[in-house]
A and B are shown apart, each in its own frame.
Chain A
Amino acid sequence: MNQFDVIVIGGGHAGTEAAAAAARRGARTALVSFDPAKIGAMSCNPAMGGLGKGHLVREVDAFDGLIARATDAAGIHYRMLNRSKGLAVQGPRVQADRRRYAAAIQTMLAEQANLTIVAGEAAALRMVAGRIAGITLADGCDLVAPSVVLATGTFLGGRIFRGEEREIGGRVGEAAASVLAEQLRGAGLPMARLKTGTPPRLDGRTIDWARLDEQPSDTDPWTMSPLTPARTLPQVHCAITRTTEVTHAIIRAGLDRSPLFGGAIAGAGPRYCPSIEDKIHRFGDRDGHQIFLEPEGLDDHVVYPNGISTSLPIDVQEAFVASIPGLERTRILTPGYAVEYDHIDPRALDATLELRAIPGLFCCGQINGTTGYEEAAGQGLVAGLNAAAHALGVAPVILDRASSYLGVMIDDLVLQGVTEPYRMLTARAEYRLRLRADNAETRLGPIADAAGCLGDARRERLERRNVARTEIEGGLEQPLSPAELIVRGAPIAPGPHRRPGSEWLRLAGVTVEQVAPDLVADADPALLAEIVEDVRYAPYLLRQEAEIAMVRGNDAIALAADLDFAGIPGLSAEMVERLSTARPSTLGQAGRLRGITPAALAAILLHARRRAA
């Protein structure tokens, strides 16, 4: 059977989410992969989540996506980052057993209705009258579908660099999607090259663990997906070590043999996850950079040293690893390397991740210039939902910045484009106070349900939570007198005025145990904690609402799709270029573009008004 609604090319984190999401929405979906045994592979860090990224994982999960549940099925080390800094910036981070993670993904895909895995290489896209009609595989087989999702990751025109070595490939030992890359380049799409790197993999049996500081898994038994009741695997420790002056000296001596500094890699690298060569080069006065030694699996002696991503030659890697405390006798199993790859300028996409130039073609993941499994999964979810919408003729799913980190990411990508690999940070979200990792399902559950992509378990949970929420909110509105609270230990002054519990909670030092001990005893603790946090942040959220309403004033001003920005006097050539590439559909979007001044905005507005008049 070669007829489908949606074809997804690529079985990485973006592709798997896209395929599963399209299938959940009822589309007949094909997932095309070079090697189905490698579907769900984690190509770099064996960890999911973190600061900002953890938000994306929970949001994908709210749509019943795969990433969080697979993480829990393979989770061997759980750490809540920024625990002391407030729920809005807490980042759930889980290290996963690589093999078990991939197995969990493959199992979930096998159990997903409407989904077929196809082994093969996508050689070319097929188009009819400028619209997508399907793909042709390298073996000549044609697959027909009105929607195609490109989730090819680092395989597209990938080149591997390690010291003086060069290879064609996306991940070590795998073929690159060069033919497809040629076709995309030939289609005249705006493209660029980026690079990403990975550290050497170490043999954990040759690490001197006893000398190093340990970092155990969190004792608080939280899980990545709220649908996962408990952790199932035994937990491991991580260890912490640091680079030394000797390490830095060795690296400096080898800089001239690094592809980064030798000029062989043209792509820009990430600011946030730089190679150890970059770190030494830029922060040379630091006396040491922290390294986390992360076991890659339970029955696996491979250890991932987080913090020493590199593309230096093998002999230099061996030397600098040996200079790190605890790693003096450590064997390198796979040396680190850098990958340079093509990506599409995401400004060519609209908010559904559909390519404006080729209707029916959707792009998600690293192909759009992002870095990270979580970013890829988030885009995969949205692309899959919308590819299904395109094929089935149902409503698209468009998320805005005020609703989710998914919305922030997609808006950033399609409006601003990328100059370096895009990675999520909480700083990117102006509505960070409301977008917490712990309230993803509250925020997105209704949207996901409306899109029809929730399974029964998830939907039932949504309903139960709504009921419980009403009860808790009612409980918190009960008026209390100061005397009642003081008796329970609250640090407040006595007085005559009774106030609702929610108001008391906003005072420093007042806890929910003091305000509503019954709720603490009966209610779901996670839901209660979420609502208490909402209550505490409520005044700020209210002000944000007012601000959003005001800013939405600009969003309400539509700009014609064919607006000729070059014809608006007073805009610099650079502004015209940015506007014409991003094609903002509202004045609000135009205002968010980098480099657009208020004077220019006023000029655009007045011009748009005159045209309308």
Chain B
Amino acid sequence: MVLDCGLVLVFPGPNSATGEDIVELHVHGGRATQRALEAALGEIEGLRPAEAGEFTRRALEHGRIDLTEAEGLGDLLAAETEHQRRAALRLSEGGLRQKIERWNDRLVDVAASIEAALDFSDEDDVPEAVTAQSGVALAILSDEIGRLVAAPSVERLRDGVRVVIAGPPNSGKSTLINSLAGRDVAIVSSTAGTTRDRIEVPVVRSGIAYVLTDTAGLRNEGADEIERIGIGRAVDAIAASDILLWLDDTPPPYAEALWLHARCDVPGRQALPTGPELAISAASGAGIAALWSLLEARAKALGSAPDEMAINARQRTLLASAETMLRAGSAEPDILLRAEAIRSTRAAFDSITGRANVEAVLDALFGRFCIGK
């Protein structure tokens, strides 16, 4: 009985993705066809569905990919935006490993010159100026590591730039979030204090992921208990925001906020007064496109450059400690301690690539996969 007409690809090992022989069946879409095929495959002796992350695990087992590549692969599969995809791809293609290898090579050079000064200086064969140069080299390297540490994390890329809409009650916040989200996510009413809780909605626009947050209007008196809790949450959200949109006629109490002049469709409010950056009307749509442009510009400024990598929390912690150690080492007058800083940094690098403490890394890695890839 013919299930489907499709394409069969055979990749013989060891040059396949996992190192083993791989067969790919490319069939027509449609849930019924897929289910029928899965059922038929299930009846073949010795065949079973892959576990979560199993193909990646096999690639790792066969040495086809290393740990940072596997981590990148995990990010790639979770990528929802173009930006995330490119960042994850760079990681999965060994971008981080290569960067670390190059840093490691430079560290080895500096270490060698320091060791020569330590072990052979008495044979009068190594100049003392070497130690001055090593301090400079280490400072430069720690700056480079610092730049990668400061780059936005893959989690932020994945979860989205946090845009918080804040202002006094009844300033048009909920109307704005509905307009930006393209649907009614928040209740709008003319009564002040409608929004009591935080409303979060993920939105993707121009390849960038955002999390828009509507908040309770900020006011000092006249709020009941529930609204006060909501105001507390609003303050927290503002503190955690990447971009703050402020809707009010009085200036925002936060320095980097984007001050908007809302409801410019209402008579008497058409002109943009001095102070706010942009006039918008969520009801009429005026200024919304311009607002998106502003958001995009700010998000890009926050975000990593197109060629940068996005590292995950595990890698960031290790790199941050490496940066700290190396920076301290570069200023350290005792060159023995400088050599020790280099050694510690290389140990941190080993933990990132998985050379050290492989088990812990593998466990953390395979806990993340939730589909059969």
Contact = CB atoms under 8 A, between A and B. Distances in A.
Contacts of B121: 82, 85
Q: Is the interface of A mostly helix, strand, loop or mixed?
A: helix
A432 B62 contact: no
A88 interface: yes
Nearest to B341: A540
Given A540-B337, A570-B63, A571-B63, A606 B362 contact: yes
Contact of B359 (A51, A86, A543, A553): A553
Nearest to A242: B124
B240 interface: no
A89 B65 CA distance: 40
23 contacts: A51-B120, A82-B122, A85-B336, A89-B119, A89-B336, A425-B115, A427-B111, A432-B339, A543-B344, A551-B347, A551-B357, A569-B13, A569-B14, A570-B62, A570-B63, A598-B66, A598-B67, A598-B354, A599-B60, A599-B65, A601-B354, A602-B362, A605-B359
B118 interface: yes
A590 B64 CA distance: 19
A540 B347 CA distance: 14
A290 B123 contact: yes
A570 B340 contact: no
A554 B354 CA distance: 11
A224 to B, nearest CB: 17
B362 A605 contact: yes
Nearest to B114: A427
B317 to A, nearest CB: 13
B124 A290 contact: yes
Interface in B331-373: 334-337, 339-340, 343-344, 347, 350-351, 353-360, 362
Contacts of B66: 597-599, 602
B228 interface: no
Contacts of B95: none
A256 to B, nearest CB: 27
Given A569-B62, A602-B63, A606-B362, A88 B357 contact: no
B57 interface: yes
A550 B118 contact: no
A427 B344 contact: no
A601 B358 contact: yes
Contact of B340 (A433, A598, A602, A605): A433
Interface in A410-448: 425-427, 430, 432-433
Contacts of B360: 553
A550 B19 contact: no
B119 A570 contact: no
Given A307-B123, A433-B337, A603-B62, 14 more contacts: A51-B122, A81-B122, A82-B121, A426-B115, A427-B118, A432-B339, A432-B340, A433-B336, A569-B20, A591-B355, A597-B355, A598-B66, A602-B60, A603-B60
B61 interface: yes
A151 interface: no
Nearest to A606: B61
A540 B358 contact: no
Interface in A590-613: 591, 597-603, 605-607
A52 interface: yes
A547 B344 contact: yes
Contact of B358 (A543, A571, A605): A605
A420 to B, nearest CB: 16
B357 A554 contact: yes
A551 B351 CA distance: 9
Interface string B8-23: 0000011000011000
A602 B58 CA distance: 11
A88 B357 CA distance: 28
A274 B329 CA distance: 33
Contacts of A597: 63, 66, 355
Contacts of B355: 591, 597-598, 601
Contacts, number: 119
Nearest to B14: A569
B118 A89 contact: yes
A177 interface: no
Nearest to B68: A598
A587 interface: yes
Interface string A48-91: 00011000000000000000000000000000011001101100
A279 to B, nearest CB: 10
Given A82-B121, A89-B336, A290-B124, A570 B359 contact: no
A557 interface: yes
Contacts of B362: 602, 605-606
A275 to B, nearest CB: 15
A594 to B, nearest CB: 13
Contact of A85 (B57, B335, B350): B335
Contact of A82 (B60, B118, B351, B356): B118
B53 to A, nearest CB: 12
A591 B119 contact: no
A603 B347 contact: no
Contact of A607 (B61, B350, B353): B61
Interface in B37-55: none
B119 A426 contact: yes
Contacts of A557: 358-359
Nearest to A605: B358
Contacts of B347: 547, 551
Interface string B159-187: 00000000000000000000000000000
Contacts of A607: 61
A570 B356 CA distance: 19
A228 B111 CA distance: 37
Interface string A538-572: 00100100010011011001000000000001110
The 8 A-B pairs at the shortest CB distance, nearest first, are namely A570-B63, A599-B66, A427-B115, A570-B62, A606-B61, A603-B63, A598-B355, A598-B354
Nearest to B63: A570
Contacts of B64: 570, 599
Nearest to B361: A602
Nearest to A570: B63
A606 B350 CA distance: 18
A490 B122 CA distance: 32
B61 A602 contact: yes
Contacts of A553: 356-357, 359-360
Interface in B106-122: 111, 115, 118-122
Contacts of B67: 598-599, 602
Nearest to B122: A81
B356 A591 contact: yes
A56 to B, nearest CB: 14
Contacts of B356: 550-551, 553-554, 591
Contact of A602 (B14, B119, B337, B358): B358
Nearest to A430: B343
A606 B57 contact: yes
B228 to A, nearest CB: 41
Interface string B222-249: 0000000000000000000000000000
Contacts of A51: 118-120, 122
Contacts of B343: 430
Nearest to B69: A599
Contacts of B335: 85
Nearest to A552: B357
Nearest to A540: B340
Interface in B184-232: none
Contacts of A591: 355-356
A89 B351 CA distance: 27
Contacts of A307: 123
A338 to B, nearest CB: 21
B241 to A, nearest CB: 36
Contact of B119 (A52, A430, A599, A605): A52
A51 B67 CA distance: 39
Nearest to B365: A602
A551 B348 CA distance: 11
A341 B61 CA distance: 43
Given A86-B336, A433-B340, A603-B62, A550 B357 contact: yes
